[in-house]
Structure 1
């Protein structure tokens, strides 16, 4: 735009170049936002020990195609989301209706004021990038928050749910 001879004044050329770069950046950002929660691989497994909950491992990718592996230690924290282009999200608040059991089979009640990690997101080298942590209140009510950077939204294709 700057090298081609034209009757356009320089400030018009700068404005056109700015509009082109802005449009390109905006479209790249939208593609990143839309594709970020797309799950390419989902693994279900039950860790050793009686009474332990099933865990999920969900693989998503960044805009630069770097894998992000999010391990959800208790799938009851995954809820339907209202966010466009996503199916699940990690809950901000949860109330336990059933108590979990430990390895011996006794009910485990969360301790008010106690906290536990619900989910962790790691990069391709296995380094933890962030955690989704629940802090328990009275009556089994938990409030969750992010520590670091955790993938919170997931768009899971129907084929992966089988």
Structure 2
């Protein structure tokens, strides 16, 4: 835009170039936001692999196509989400049935996100309160939303 000869003043050329770059950046960010939770592989974890409960392992990718593997050690912590372009999310709070005995104040790792090499990038941890109420929080960077295609189920 700056090399081609034109009657446009420099300020108009700068404005046009800025709009083109801004539009490109916004569209790339939207594609990344929409595609971030898309699960490319889904694997069932046996109770031995996940610490006693049924779990799943979901593989997603970042905008730069870096592999992220998230292991959810207990599927009761996966709930339906209202976020567009996602089916499940890791729950913020969980209520256990009264038959399970959990000591208040204890913490458990519910999910872990790892890179391709297996390095842990983040954990989703629940802290148990009185009455079996668990409040979850993130430590590090964990993938929280998942868009699972029906063919993978």
Please confirm whether the aligned pair reaches a TM-score higher than 0.5, indicating the same fold: yes
Q: Are positions 1:152 and 2:144 aligned together?
A: yes
Q: Are positions 1:64 and 2:56 aligned together?
A: no
Per the normalisation by structure 2, the TM-score is 0.95
Following superposition, the deviation at residue 94 of structure 1 comes to: 0.6
Following superposition, the deviation at residue 45 of structure 1 comes to: 2.1
| Deviant stretches of 4+, over 4 Å | none
Q: Give the corresponding residue for 2:87.
A: 87
Following superposition, the deviation at residue 151 of structure 1 comes to: 0.2
Unaligned runs of 5+ in 1: 100-107
Inter-partner Cα distance in structure 1 for 2:97 and 2:143: 26
Following superposition, the deviation at residue 48 of structure 1 comes to: 2.5
Q: Give the corresponding residue for 1:5.
A: 5
Counterparts of 1:19-58 in structure 2 under 5 Å?
19-48=19-48, 52-58=52-58
Per the normalisation by structure 1, the TM-score is 0.90
RMSD (Å), alpha carbons: 1.4
Q: How many residues align?
A: 152
Unaligned runs of 5+ in 2: none
Following superposition, the deviation at residue 98 of structure 1 comes to: 5.8
Inter-partner Cα distance in structure 2 for 1:113 and 1:4: 67
| Secondary structure class of the residue paired with 2:11 | helix
Q: Give the corresponding residue for 1:17.
A: 17
